[in-house]
Chain A
Amino acid sequence: MLSSEDLAVFPVDQWISQGVEWLGVHLRPIFLAIRWPVENLLALSDTLIHAIPFPLMVLLMFLVAYRAASLGVALFSAVALVVIAALGVWDEAMTTLSLITTAIVICMLVGIPVGVWCARSERVWRVMRPILDIMQTTPTFVYLVPVVMLFGVGTVSGEVAVVISACPPLIRFTYLGIRMVETELVEAGHAFGADHRQLLWEIQLPLAIPTILGGLNQTVLTAMVMSVVVAMIGAEGLGLVVLQGLGRMDVGRAAVGGIAIVLLAMMLDRITQKLAQPSVRKRKSLFKRLLNTRPANT
């Protein structure tokens, strides 16, 4: 009788291990080159965010949320930050915040141009699509191992993992946003003699912005989730609090980490979600709005 074990002759696991090992040895300069900007950006944002005193940070987030979203979101953000501080995980939360902001910056720098490229070339999109599928469907734990093998352990390689998982939504939404621009508008651009650059900057990108911001919201949330998971490869932050709590069977500690994560996630989600709603983008300047107590009539 043929058993399933008899068929298990494909040593795929070995091939992949060897492949990753080979990559790690032979393409080391490339991975170092990727690591360098990530490391520096992360260091910069970490220093900046930790340098801001607690009350100033609360005020800053309040103003950002008020400017980008609404008074309600602004109040929620302030309260959330105060609660996080009260839970005693302020420093960890700020580390997570810097991890996420860095990831967002890198995702925007990489994701939007790649999305634009995909939208403009059917061939690029055909190559990119399965890669995005793999990036998004692969369980996050699975690629922690190759990331560790290629980039080492610690916060920086954690950041790389965060970027890998958070970037696909932004690429997809950018692609979608540009593709969804009405054909008549693109034709109008052609008919009036727009070149490729003008078509992109005058028509496609401005009209795709609401969709791209929707993608940004997805990116923020994915980064948030991933920033917790990467605690397992040594990244610091709130994820580490949860992981330590779990490791010591300390339910309280794990829950504190969890609550702080949820609050931070909700705050970031509300702010970026409002960004994506076009009606809110045409607001007067913050200064004018603060002077004018009546609600903006648009």
Chain B
Amino acid sequence: MSERLKIENLYKVFSSSPERAMQLLTAGASKDRILAETATVVGLNNVSLSIPSGAIYMIMGLSGSGKSTLARCINRLNEPTAGKILLDGEDLVTLDENQLREVRRTRISMVFQHFALLPNKTVIENTEFGLKLRGVSAVQRRQRAEEVLAIVGLAKWADHHPHELSGGMRQRVGLARALATDADVLIMDEAFSALDPLIRTEMQDELLRLQRTLKKTILFITHDFQEALKLGTRIAIMADGQVVREGTPQEIVMDPGSDYVAAFTREVDRSRLFDARSIMQTAGTLLVQGNTRVVGNDSASAFVLNTLGEAVGVLDSASLLAVGGGADALQRLSTQFVSVPANAKLVEVARLLKPGLPVAVVDCDGLFLGTLSSAHILDCIASVAAQRPNAAEVAQHA
């Protein structure tokens, strides 16, 4: 994935004369000290992020962490105090008013927490709003709006007013409006936070479904860590205007890096987050016998692979010793084992497990990738995690 949006050393200080606060900030003063000394609020403190094209990039943080400020800096609803925002290499911070307007009309669109639909316009008029501002002809923009409304499943509601719609439907209109302009970057500022839990889940699924075909670069702001895990290709966790942890959902849960982040990851349902591949143990070749290969690791059973690399059977420790002593592996193997696809979540793996049988992790072509033991799966779900955060990383994020 190529990089679409890059944020370099972004600062935001809420003040008409931010020089003093900036001096203190770059000298390493804390947000609280700057508030006490200069009575200015620091929104963003040296934020650098790289957002790959086609990703759903989650910015997660509690209120006051600067997550919304960051999102609003990107389309400059908030003016950054210092730093760069590079959209395909072009620095948005240096754009003049006209250039900025053009970027907002064509490159970046936005979905709002409280929908921000115009109550006096119908659903379809709201949807074509961005195109109207851009000066697209009435016929063309109506056509495009109809297309987008069909995508979000609201074609029948085109001529109704927003107040006749439920919250979830209104946000679909908000989404349709943002999609209508064909911008490659979508900022979703707490887009689902105002919705009921059930509707929220539905909208999250819908967004994931849409994203499979749309492949937009989505910057999604949320205070809900579960939402971040569910939707995110990558997650940046913010606190006090800084990014405290950045990575894929699995990386972050596996290795929170700090107590602050660990507080979020503690309650995570790991069985639905991790797939077999992410926690499997790889196996090394133990011995080769003609066309078959015996692979294993420190778990009790060894797998016998054929020439293609498919697992054909398992050897228990006694058989393995015998095979080591010269017996034919194909004669001694047992076919009593379980194969699980590498992309199966642990909760699905748990369903496939049979007591006492070894587990082989296979890829989509059926090739053997590694092994899983039930103890290992339980360990991971119970977060007695195999990998503990190492001391250096803790120090870095603290």
- Residues of A participating in the B interface, judged by any CB pair closer than 8 Å: 182, 184-185, 187-195, 198, 202-203, 206-207
Contacts and interface: CB of A to CB of B under 8 A. Distances in A.
B120 A206 contact: yes
Closest 9 CB pairs of A and B: A193-B105, A193-B104, A188-B116, A191-B110, A192-B130, A184-B116, A193-B101, A206-B120, A194-B133
B116 A202 contact: no
A189 B129 CA distance: 9
B133 A187 contact: no
Q: Identify which of A182, A184, A189, A192 gathers the most chain B CB atoms within 10 Å of its CB.
A: A192
Given A193-B101, A193-B103, A194-B133, 8 more contacts: A185-B116, A188-B110, A192-B105, A192-B129, A192-B181, A193-B102, A193-B104, A206-B120
B45 interface: no
Contacts of B101: 193, 195
A193 B103 CA distance: 8
A190 B177 CA distance: 14
Contacts of B109: 191-192
21 contacts: A182-B116, A185-B116, A185-B118, A187-B77, A187-B112, A187-B116, A190-B104, A191-B75, A191-B109, A192-B104, A192-B181, A193-B101, A193-B103, A193-B105, A193-B130, A193-B133, A193-B134, A202-B133, A206-B118, A206-B120, A207-B120
Main SS at interface, chain A: helix
Given A202-B129, A202-B132, A191 B104 contact: yes
Contact of B118 (A193, A195, A203): A203
B118 A207 contact: yes
Contacts of A203: 118
A10 to B, nearest CB: 41
B181 to A, nearest CB: 7
B116 A207 contact: no
B114 interface: yes
A192 B106 CA distance: 8
B64 interface: no
Contacts of A198: 133
Interface residues of B, number: 26
B389 interface: no
Contacts of A185: 116, 118
B309 interface: no
Contacts of A193: 101-106, 130, 133-134
A21 B106 CA distance: 60
Contacts of A207: 118-120
A182 B119 CA distance: 11
Contacts of B119: 207
Nearest to A187: B77
Q: Identify which of B77, B102, B103, B106 gathers the most chain A CB atoms within 10 Å of its CB.
A: B77
B7 to A, nearest CB: 18
A203 B117 CA distance: 10
A198 to B, nearest CB: 6
Nearest to A183: B116
B18 to A, nearest CB: 20
Nearest to A209: B120
Nearest to B120: A206
Contacts of B108: 191
Interface string B81-124: 00000000000000000000111111011101110101110000
Contacts of A182: 116
Contacts of A194: 133
Q: Identify which of A189, A193, A198, A207 gathers the most chain B CB atoms within 10 Å of its CB.
A: A193
Contacts of B187: 191
B31 to A, nearest CB: 24
A182 to B, nearest CB: 7
A224 B129 CA distance: 41
A195 B132 CA distance: 12
B112 A192 contact: no
A192 B101 CA distance: 8
A206 to B, nearest CB: 5
A161 to B, nearest CB: 36
A190 B108 CA distance: 11
A190 B133 contact: no
A195 B98 CA distance: 9
Nearest to A184: B116
Interface in B1-55: none
A142 B101 CA distance: 51
Contacts of B120: 206-207
Contacts of B77: 187, 190-191
Nearest to A185: B116
Contacts of B112: 184, 187-188, 191
A90 to B, nearest CB: 40
Nearest to B180: A192
A207 B116 CA distance: 12
Contacts of B103: 193
Contact of B110 (A192, A195, A202, A206): A192
Nearest to B119: A207
A182 B116 CA distance: 8
B133 A192 contact: yes
Nearest to A192: B130
A189 B101 CA distance: 11
Contacts of A191: 75, 77, 104, 108-110, 112, 187
Nearest to A210: B120
Contacts of B113: 184
A24 to B, nearest CB: 45
B368 to A, nearest CB: 51
Nearest to B72: A187
Interface string B132-171: 1110000000000000000000000000000000000000
B382 to A, nearest CB: 43
B220 to A, nearest CB: 15
B227 to A, nearest CB: 20
A184 B108 CA distance: 17
Nearest to B129: A192
A187 B189 CA distance: 12
Contacts of B118: 185, 188, 202-203, 206-207
Interface in B164-202: 177, 181, 187
